[in-house]
Amino acid sequence: MIYTAKPNRYKSMQYRRCGNSGIKLSALSLGLWHNFGGVDVFENYRETLHFAFDSGITHYDLANNYGPPPGSAEENFGKILHQDFKNHRDEMIISTKAGYTMWDGPYGDWGSKKYLVSSLDQSLKRMNLDYVDIFYHHRPDPETPLEETMAALDLIVRQGKALYIGLSNYKTPEFEDAVSILKRLGTPCLIHQPKYSMFERWVEDSLLNALEKHQVGCIPFSPLAQGLLTNKYLNGVPEDSRLAKSHGFLTESYATPDKIEKVKKLNKIALNREQSLAQMAIAWLLKDDRITTVLVGASKASQLADSLKSLDNIYFEEYELKEIDEILAG
């Protein structure tokens, strides 16, 4: 099958300026954390990538350890990129990250210059790319001096292996310090990727204001709270769900009776807005102009199509926002 991109792919997508940069990102970005690994069905994620690109999604988010097994998401993405998107590379923002465990020994984790430079070299080989558009440090390292980690990111840009630098999972004080170092080095931070959803609102305490102050973009991950903010759990935890099977990062305690009750109440608001709960959860993030794009995952094209419908209505009445806050605070 020869893939031909739809000529009108940019007509229906919304694009937002990313911080103080020349880059605009599609309102939704596609994350390849799960469903693109070696254990998944190749034609499924190939079709998903085709649909994403045809829908005007320009940003594709990876990390060195995405799979499973680790590295396989980059390999699979690289394969499809060169089979189907070879003529469209310059229309795509491709990002990857390093900061979590990737290989054995003291140099395969955290934030040393040795790890970050080596990891990106491996990622570029897996994807068969000369450079990525954004390279993120995936999490702060409590032992490596922040100056070393930021100097490594600056070096990577100067080497031409990445065009822009991003941070992920940095709390406000760490973010402020990192941004100051990067500015001093001459390689500003483009974007920050925090965990942010209706159930995970710590970024509202100070991080969003800090991002605005430093003119840095924001791309929330886990907008659906690992699937909790969908209709999947309205009647409890299904036996075949990822939550029930628990892959190590999800546990039964995550979907407490209290949270399920909140989900049911939120779902009523979503229905009144003529949206699914998932669509409302994504729209709720995009209502804030400080959010550049929302990172969504999909195991098939139909799931991504459902997420895209959230863009049909990202406006909230004041009474809706008040009711949502009351539910979440209850």
Q: List, as one string, the DSSP characters of 289-300.
A: TT---EEE--SS
Q: Which residues contact 90 (CB under 8 A, 6 or more apart)?
A: none
Question: 245 pLDDT exceeds 70?
Answer: no
Predicted pLDDT of residue 330:
87
Nearest to 111 by CA among 141, 135, 134: 141
Distance separating alpha carbons of residues 284 and 314, to the nearest angstrom: 7
Q: Which residues contact 258 (CB under 8 A, 6 or more apart)?
A: none
* Tokens matching residue 24: 């605009």
Residue 149 lies in a domain: yes
pLDDT digits (tens, 9 = 90+) for 171-209: 999 999 999 999 999 999 999 999 999 999 999 999 999
Question: 276 pLDDT exceeds 90?
Answer: yes
pLDDT digits (tens, 9 = 90+) for 138-180: 999 999 999 999 999 999 999 999 999 999 999 999 999 999 9
Indicate the length of the chain as a whole number. 330
Q: Once rounded to an integer, what is the mean pLDDT over residues 9-28?
A: 97
Could you tell me the CA-to-CA distances from 106 to 112, 114, 245, 275 in Å, in that order?
Answer: 10, 10, 32, 48
Question: 246 pLDDT exceeds 60?
Answer: no
| 77 confidence band (pLDDT: 50, 70, 90) | very high
State which residues form the domain around 38.
Answer: 15-231+278-312
Predicted pLDDT of residue 139:
98
Predicted pLDDT of residue 235:
78
Q: Once rounded to an integer, what is the mean pLDDT over residues 269-294?
A: 98
Residue 197 lies in a domain: yes
pTM for the structure as a whole? 0.95
Q: Once rounded to an integer, what is the mean pLDDT over residues 281-308?
A: 97
Question: 116 pLDDT exceeds 80?
Answer: yes
Question: 282 pLDDT exceeds 90?
Answer: yes
Handedness of CA 137, 96, 89, 48 (dihedral sign): negative
Residue 330 lies in a domain: no
The number of angstroms, rounded, from the C-alpha of 238 to the middle of its chain's C-alpha atoms is: 26
pLDDT-above-90 percentage for the chain:
90
Question: 38 pLDDT exceeds 90?
Answer: yes
* Tokens matching residue 106: 């003291």
Question: 240 pLDDT exceeds 90?
Answer: no
CATH number at residue 58: 3.20.20.100
Residue 254 lies in a domain: no
Residue 271 lies in a domain: no
Predicted pLDDT of residue 248:
43
Q: Which residues contact 15 (CB under 8 A, 6 or more apart)?
A: 24, 25, 26, 27, 58
Distance separating alpha carbons of residues 117 and 161, to the nearest angstrom: 9
Predicted pLDDT of residue 1:
74
Residue 328 lies in a domain: no
Predicted pLDDT of residue 255:
79
Question: 85 pLDDT exceeds 90?
Answer: yes
Strand 24-26 relative to strand 162-168, pairing: unpaired
For the ranges 6-10, 230-234, 312-316, 323-327, the lowest mean pLDDT is seen at 230-234
The domain total for the chain is: 1
Residue 260 lies in a domain: no
Question: 242 pLDDT exceeds 60?
Answer: no
Question: 251 pLDDT exceeds 70?
Answer: no
Residue 106 lies in a domain: yes
Q: What is the signed CA dihedral for 140, 146, 149, 154, rounded to 10 degrees?
A: 120
Distance separating alpha carbons of residues 156 and 165, to the nearest angstrom: 9
